[in-house]
Amino acid sequence: VPLNGACVAELFRRASEFARDGLKNATTAERLQLYAWFKQSTTGDCNINRPGIFSMEGRAKWDAWNRVKGTPQEIGIDLSMIFFHCL
């Protein structure tokens, strides 16, 4: 059965909820990559200034998100679901 837009959106929503609690065994790099695709999917290109040097976590997240700049949001959804499934 082909997936329609509503089905993909629901799958993405469920994966996002699970990712908050279910990625305890994922590496930092894997979590950052999933974060980047999630932000690209939900917000689009990185639209905030890079956090200061004392915010190491914020900078790592910003760097990961900024690396996927230019990826269409629809592709970001697909990639985040594929990446999440592979974890």
Q: What is the pLDDT of residues 17-73, one digit of tens each?
A: 766 666 677 888 988 888 898 888 888 999 999 999 999 999 999 999 999 999 888
- DSSP annotation of 54 reads T
**Distance, CA of 25 to CA of 5 (rounded, Å):** 30
Q: Give the model's confidence band at 1: pLDDT under 50 very low, under 70 low, under 90 confident, else very high.
A: very low
Place of tokens 């279910």: 22
pLDDT of residue 22: 65
Specify the higher pLDDT residue, 77 or 59.
59
DSSP 3: P
Encoded amino acid at 39, one letter: K
User: Is 5's pLDDT higher than 60?
Assistant: yes
